A = this chain, B = another copy of it.
Amino acid sequence: MASTSSLTLSQVVLARSVPRHGSSNPHLPSSLSLPTFSGLKATPTTTATPTAANASSTRRRSTPGRRQAQVLASAAVETLEKTDTELVDKSVNAIRFLAIDAVEKANSGHPGLPMGCAPMAHIIYDEVMKYNPKNPYWFNRDRFVLSAGHGCMLQYALLHLAGYDSVQEEDLKQFRQWGSRTPGHPENFETPGIEVTTGPLGQGIANAVGLALAEAHLAARYNKPDAEIVDHYTYVILGDGCQMEGISNEACSLAGHWGLGKLIAFYDDNHISIDGDTDIAFTENVDARFEALGWHVIWVKNGNTGYDEIRAAIKEAKAVKDKPTMIKVTTTIGYGSPNKANSYAVHGSALGAKEVDATRANLAWPHEPFHVPEEVKKHWSRHIPEGAALEAEWNAKFAEYEKKYPEEAAEFKSIITGELPAGWEKALPTYTPESPGDATRNLSQTNLNALVKVLPGLLGGSADLASSNMTLLKSFGDFQKDSPAERNLRFGVREHGMGAICNGIALHSPGLIPYCATFFVFTDYMRAAIRISALCEAGVIYVMTHDSIGLGEDGPTHQPIEHLASFRAMPNVLMLRPADGNETAGAYKVAVVNRKRPSILALSRQKLPQLPGTSIEGVEKGGYIISDNSSGNKPDFILTATGSELEIAAKAADELRKEGKTVRVVSLVSWELFDEQSAEYKESVFPASVTARVSIEAGTTFGWQKFVGDKGKAIGIDRFGASAPAGKIYKEFGITAEAVVAAAKSIS
């Protein structure tokens, strides 16, 4: 990347090479100072520019300085209403043309949204938001989400003007190119300053609900009457496409229910989507719908030039504390383009040289591509010292807090740094074969309730199945409008919104560990959000119960078949299917440790025995031997299984051993973790010389050939399930020890 030479230290540390998903290449290595809390110390941070650091240290030490920062923070809207309109026009056009020019250079991208949203975006980033460009991870920053992620050049232009090191002129010129920090949609793991990963429509607004929830929750837990250390807003721009997606209705219904007053969403009401005028498919009354969802709704009729209207709307939104606000901003897509504005033609393609020229003429913009006029640069340049001052101010406030409330401060620190409390894993329960058998969903509940006592950032809930998924935290109440400090989240029957909200929570602070739950089959409803968890490196814990035909009578609509395979195929997901108590504890250990990739725990409805040989350490390897009566790494058979079928494999092994065979039983609780082990370890579990292998799993056989090989046999279910008592279905479908024994004999 051409801009490497101008990277600051923080960027060098943050810059990530392709391929990027793997535990060996974490996004925030421990050597990075920012997220490990040194930003809170009294000495200037190594990553701030000298100017910022000086400003910061100066202001932090003096009461007047602190007051000044407070003025900056609290009165931003009022102060900046005085900004010269002509200058704002220039800044807005600078944003427009950075987007136009970058899309034109890439000959790919979406200029329409940035051109239409530039006025509101200018006001949000230049006049309203609190942030520190030199520390994109400063805890108390306002969060911004571009839910209409295709318009990402808007946000890249803003980050560039605001002084973020991640988006320099060279980065803008590399828009949508291999290895750049300005990819085709906003990706938090590529570009510091981007909070979440958007593009798939509706995800961003739901992420924003999660961000706002996290703020409300942490504020309720940690703020004190004399020290408001958590106090920031979440801003979103969403478009018509986001509004049409069901996920946004789910998440916004919850935001209204929860009364997330510091969530302010700007709806870019431009009446154009890819297929043309939205009238062809979208004629509902969005304002009335949002009012029905419990939101405060404001309409800015002139989003193209009505700066004061936009400012007044934001002021009004902030004044409404008990409801989220949707500001409908009517804009013209591609504003300024004489021939393409207000048409789908400007949505997703470069304008073309001729139309770019015409737009330059129309908006009186004589500058070269990528040029930002000096007065605009100068105007925006204040954000670097101001941001440093804001952070310094907050650091000082936190230092006082820490003195007065050392316990809360320690807990809070662990949440905002992501450092797990020492010895947390000792809370995990362990079992012996003599421990009573239980469903892994119940064992999961034991783990959750044990972990919540040692992990201050653990919170979560179910999509209206808490009593089936067994996810209630018994020592806490419900997170509700009047009890935001509580840690049981009640998502209602809204799986997709739930997943995306958890992504937002996870990305709010490194130490927040959200979990969410439904029946495993209903991951189908939330798959798009789970994929984003995996891509954006959000370590959400998915507690997925009723993981097979073992759920019985509810029948094929409720019985997962292909789901294990479908997640094993998805990059950067840990798909875990524990077999008993020790393995469930192991699955939780893995899930908690993996903060950069989501874990999906597939858990049984039915009771299972505690098996000899299972262990937490085994789970951490993904696949391991639970029993073996062979020697020299040469058993007659290898039987392998996951979850509820490990018991069946163990029984089949007993049968075969009675007949004088040597049999190894392997638990393959997580294929991904096993893949990451050394070749030697893998050979010690699955020696190449042993080809008589049988697998059994109450799901599709798809993918199992990898472990059973050309000569082995995979027992599974390659059809939909059935409605009947679980035992009956297992028998009818041949998921039995007898079937394993027969398969083994057929290949011996």
> How many copies of the chain does the oligomer comprise?
2
Q: Give the CA-CA distance A638 to B532 in the complex, in Å.
A: 36
Neighbouring B residues of A187 by C-beta, 8 Å: 555-557
The verdict on A572 contacting chain B, using a C-beta distance below 8 Å, is yes
Neighbouring B residues of A179 by C-beta, 8 Å: 722, 724
Q: Which residue of B lies closest to A564 (CB)?
A: B569
The verdict on A210 contacting chain B, using a C-beta distance below 8 Å, is no
CB-defined interface of A244-255 with B at 8 Å, one 1/0 digit per residue?
A: 111111100110
Contact partner of A275 (CB less than 8 A), chosen from B149, B289, B490, is B490
Neighbouring B residues of A571 by C-beta, 8 Å: 561-562, 700, 718-720
Neighbouring B residues of A256 by C-beta, 8 Å: 283-284
Q: Which residue of B lies closest to A489 (CB)?
A: B281
The verdict on A663 contacting chain B, using a C-beta distance below 8 Å, is no
Q: Which residue of B lies closest to A570 (CB)?
A: B562
Q: Which stretch, A49-57, A652-660, A703-711, touches the partner chain B?
A: A703-711
Evaluate contact between B176 and A724: CB separation under 8 angstroms: yes
CB-defined interface of A99-136 with B at 8 Å, one 1/0 digit per residue?
A: 00000001011000000000000000000000000000
The verdict on A293 contacting chain B, using a C-beta distance below 8 Å, is yes
Given contacts A273-B492, A490-B275, A555-B187, is CB(A292)–CB(B289) below 8 Å?
Answer: yes
CB-defined interface of A538-557 with B at 8 Å, one 1/0 digit per residue?
A: 00000000000000111111
Instruction: List A residues 559-611 near B (Cβ within 8 Å).
Output: 561-562, 565-566, 568-572
CB-defined interface of A718-745 with B at 8 Å, one 1/0 digit per residue?
A: 1110111100110010000000000000
Evaluate contact between B281 and A492: CB separation under 8 angstroms: yes
Evaluate contact between B184 and A492: CB separation under 8 angstroms: no
Neighbouring B residues of A457 by C-beta, 8 Å: none
Interface residues of A (CB under 8 A from B): 18-21, 106, 108-109, 149-150, 176-180, 183-185, 187, 197-202, 240-242, 244-250, 253-254, 256-257, 273-275, 278, 280-289, 291-294, 344, 462, 464-468, 478, 480, 490-497, 521-522, 524-525, 527-528, 531-532, 534-535, 552-558, 561-562, 565-566, 568-572, 700, 702-703, 705-706, 709-710, 718-720, 722-725, 728-729, 732
Q: Which residue of B lies closest to A709 (CB)?
A: B710
Evaluate contact between A557 and B185: CB separation under 8 angstroms: yes
A-B contact pairs, 28 of them (CB 8 A): A18-B722, A20-B719, A176-B725, A177-B724, A178-B722, A178-B732, A183-B555, A183-B722, A187-B555, A198-B557, A199-B555, A199-B557, A246-B249, A247-B525, A249-B249, A275-B465, A280-B490, A281-B490, A282-B492, A285-B293, A522-B528, A561-B569, A562-B569, A566-B566, A571-B720, A702-B703, A705-B705, A710-B710
Evaluate contact between B289 and A553: CB separation under 8 angstroms: no
Contact partner of A21 (CB less than 8 A), chosen from B254, B289, B720, B725, is B720
Q: Give the CA-CA distance A531 to B519 in the complex, in Å.
A: 15
Evaluate contact between B702 and A280: CB separation under 8 angstroms: no
A499 smallest CB distance to B (angstroms): 11
Given contacts A246-B247, A281-B254, A281-B491, is CB(A558)–CB(B525) below 8 Å?
Answer: no
Neighbouring B residues of A491 by C-beta, 8 Å: 281
Q: Which residue of B lies closest to A250 (CB)?
A: B246
Contact partner of A282 (CB less than 8 A), chosen from B176, B257, B552, is B257
Evaluate contact between B244 and A492: CB separation under 8 angstroms: yes
Given contacts A525-B245, A562-B570, is CB(A553)–CB(B108) below 8 Å?
Answer: yes
Evaluate contact between B244 and A280: CB separation under 8 angstroms: no
Q: Give the CA-CA distance A226 to B254 in the complex, in Å.
A: 51
A275 smallest CB distance to B (angstroms): 5
Given contacts A289-B292, A490-B275, is CB(A149)–CB(B21) below 8 Å?
Answer: no
Q: Which residue of B lies closest to A529 (CB)?
A: B524
Evaluate contact between A468 and B722: CB separation under 8 angstroms: no
Given contacts A493-B201, A565-B569, is CB(A288)–CB(B292) below 8 Å?
Answer: yes
Neighbouring B residues of A725 by C-beta, 8 Å: 108, 176-178
Q: A179-B724, A199-B557, A282-B492 are in contact. List 7 more A-B contacts (CB 8 A).
A: A187-B556, A200-B524, A280-B492, A285-B292, A289-B292, A561-B569, A572-B719
The list of the 4 closest CB pairs from A to B, nearest first, reads: A246-B246, A281-B492, A183-B723, A288-B292
